[in-house]
Amino acid sequence: MGKRIFFIDNLRTCVILLAIICSAASEFMIYPDSHAYLLAQTRSWGADIFISWSAQIILPVLFFISAFFGSSSLHIHVSRVFFKEKWIRLGWPWLFGVLILAPEPAFFSYLNHDSTISFTDFYLYHFWSDGFSQGQFWFLSLLLGFFLLLIAAKKCSHAFLQRKPASIPGPLFWTGIFILHSLGLYITQSVWSNHWINLLYVFTFRANFLITSLIYFFLGVHAYKYRWLTPHGYTPSAAWLPVFLIISVMYACLLSVYAGPALPVLSAAAASLLSLSGLLALTAVFAKWGNQNTRFTITLAHISYPLYFVSETLLQTTAYFLQPLALGGCFKIILILTLTFIYGYLISKYALIHLPCFKKQYFI
């Protein structure tokens, strides 16, 4: 693809930081899912709305970008070399994270139900059964699985990743994405609700997350094939920004009306609109105003993935030791995030960034 697209790198960095902020806010949710960890004594419906809104943005953007760059890499490499790079970048961190880092936050979650259990008993008797969680590493395993699908598609048809002439998607294309996503969300919400699904300890996900991730992953593949985000290809217009803001307000109002998850039909359609407009609006905003390649943006791009890797452990450990402090929710989140970013930056810059899986030559 030639030179890197700096605004895409910067967009990915900001979305990763948003994901970390969401993890910090999960402590204050009124309706946490089974993936939640420590829960604060005083919680706010605003945290539920913020996290639900953010999830509809984070997953489409990250899976779209991963597929966009991954397609470029697979197109010019043989499958074996491509998978080896992805295993270094995703597989080893996922394996280490699930076995070593994920048990501690999962233990904190278990303390919400049994405050007398020891960590040793939890790890030996509960973590590999009713207390299992991959933490933030579910994203890595799912992405690695999608890359395996991409490799299989290329093996079935060598022309699968062949680049086509640049084209601009029309209203029917976006309508199709909206309908497909809405239908998928409606079915998964009706059947599985917000429950986490665990497949042989390898893939752990919520069904609605799986649908969203899969659709936008293959939208990223399509974007690569049809030369989006290139000088002569399609780049979303900034006109998507007001659309995204209006839909965001409508989505927040919809969630505010119900004392719990919104009706499946309405929530599915609203979430689908929010994901689509969010991806296009944020891409347009960063393409127009976020195409900088400064020392600051390069540093953030370098540490964003390793920071994400250790963030959940740092967040939950910090929150656990700050529990006795009588602070308001906003002040507590700010303090937790500040300490997490400081420690995470130091660990990332002076330790993790030197490991092969976190070096910048590999990209998710």
In tens, the pLDDT along 190-214 reads 888 778 888 888 998 889 999 999 9
123 assigned to some structural domain: yes
Choose between 24 and 277: higher pLDDT: 277
> What mean pLDDT comes out for the span 253-269?
74
pLDDT at 363: 38
364 assigned to some structural domain: no
297 assigned to some structural domain: yes
Instruction: State the Cα torsion 305-68-278-55 to the nearest 10°.
Output: -40
Domain that holds residue 214: 6-358
SS3 284: helix
- pTM for this model (two decimals): 0.92
The secondary structure of 52-82, three-state, reads HHHHHHHHHHHHHHHHHHHHHHHHHCCHHHH
pLDDT one-digit tens code per residue, 151-181: 999 999 888 899 999 889 999 999 999 999 9
Choose between 261 and 239: higher pLDDT: 239
363 assigned to some structural domain: no
Per the prediction, the chain carries an average pLDDT of 88
Phi, psi of 230, deg, nearest 5: -105, 165
Residue 364 has pLDDT above 50, yes or no: no
For tokens 């979430």, what's the residue? 271
24 vs 336: CA distance, rounded Å:
7
pLDDT one-digit tens code per residue, 71-101: 999 998 889 999 999 999 999 999 999 999 9
50 vs 57: CA distance, rounded Å:
11
Q: How many domains does the chain have?
A: 1
> What mean pLDDT comes out for the span 102-127?
84
pLDDT one-digit tens code per residue, 14-25: 999 999 999 888
1 assigned to some structural domain: no
117 vs 94: CA distance, rounded Å:
27
Query: Over pLDDT 90: what percentage of the chain?
Result: 54
